[in-house]
Each structure stands twice: as structure tokens, then as C-alpha cells.
Amino acid sequence: MSRRQQNPDIKISKTLSYLLRHGAKKEKIKMRTDGFVLVSDLLEHRSLKRITFEDIKRIVENNDKKRFLLSKDENQNDIIKATQGHTIEVKDLSLTKITKENLPQCAVHGTNRKNWNIIKNQGLSKMKRNHIHFAPKEPGKGQVISGMRTSSEIMIFVDLEKALEDGIQFFQSENEVILSEGIDGIIPPKYFSKVVDSKTQKIIFSSNENEKEKEK
């Protein structure tokens, strides 16, 4: 789909993601330490000047991955933040620390085959983001789930318990995405419990059986 044909709400959502996750400082939008900005400040931005509060509200409510959160500040002003995915520093983002007592069903990271060839040797990297992202459960066929792209070709499952024992910290965002800074920005391959081909459901790697797919 070309940019001209793109659904207007998708275009607005992408703009919100950029401003709230990455570009607030560069675009001179004042952001609180918890990631919230005034909706009125956003609507003054050149890329959103034709957008109304009702547009913002609709996009937040309809976003299938719950990327954004609308609230009110102490003066009853409308405020908004991205729930995760930041590259800009957010000191007080509302995250729940994961322990052995509140372990999610799983922690699975989606990627493509090309990236897997690098990840299997170097580990998962947070890249330019503040955290490495994981979904808290394996998505069903065609199911949209926070923390993983629907286009993911490879699913990497991490052994949370083992990683926690070794001191790697994990947190869960308000939209249930699992986040970790890893060790110096990396989660090494030794913490992968299994790796699965999303399309065929074939196990490419399993720490239990020590099996790897024979690559051609």
C-alpha cells in the first residue's frame, strides 16, 4: 500500500509512535519523566494540526496492540504516552518487575530468517531501543499480539527462569509486552529455550534436545 493509499488512522498512529517513542525532544514537545505529554502540545505539532482530540481518542481505543495510554494530569488536562518501545529516555515508565513469583506464560521474540542468522550467534540486541521486546504468549494464526509483529517468520523463546537466576532483569509494560535491557544490551543465545519457524511450526533449535535445523 502506498503512502497516498494508507489508512489515515494508520498514518496518525505512526506519527504518534514517532513522537511519543522517539522524537519528542527533537520536535520540542515537552515530555514528563513518566513518558506522558499534553495532548494539546501534540495537536500543535505540524504533522497533527488537522487532527482532533476525538481522532486521538479513537486511535488509542482501537489500537490492537494498546501502544498508547490516555489519561488526565493533576489539572485535568488530557495527556498521552506510549506504553513501550522508546528510544528516548523515560525514567518513570510504569513497568512491573518480573520475578519467579509472577512469571508470564512465556517470553517470545519475533524476527525474520535473515536476522536469525545473526541472532543465533550474537544474541538478541536492543538495538537503538531502550529494551529488547517479547510477547507474553505465543500468537495464534493471524492473531495480533503486543510485543511481536504479525509478519515474524521466526519465534525465539527465552528461558525466563534461567535468565532471572543469572541476574538479567525483565519487566512488563502496561500492554503486557515483556522488556529487558539484557546484559549490556544483549540477551545471549544460551538463554534461548527453543526457536520455532512461525509458518511450519518446525523447531529450529531446542535447548532440551540440543537440536538444530540442518541448513542447506
**Of the given ranges (40-44, 50-54, 144-148), which has the lowest mean pLDDT?**
144-148
Q: What is the pLDDT of residue 146?
A: 65
What pTM was computed for the model?
A: 0.68
SS (HEC) of 106-145: CCEEEECHHHHHHHHHHCEECCCCCCEEEECCCCCCCCCE
Give the largest Cα separation in the chain, rounded: 62
Task: Assign 171 a pLDDT band (cuts: 50, 70, 90).
Answer: very high
Tell me: the pLDDT tens digits for 8-28? 899 999 999 999 999 999 999
What domains are there in the chain, each with its CATH number?
8-82 (1.10.10.970), 96-212 (3.20.170.30)
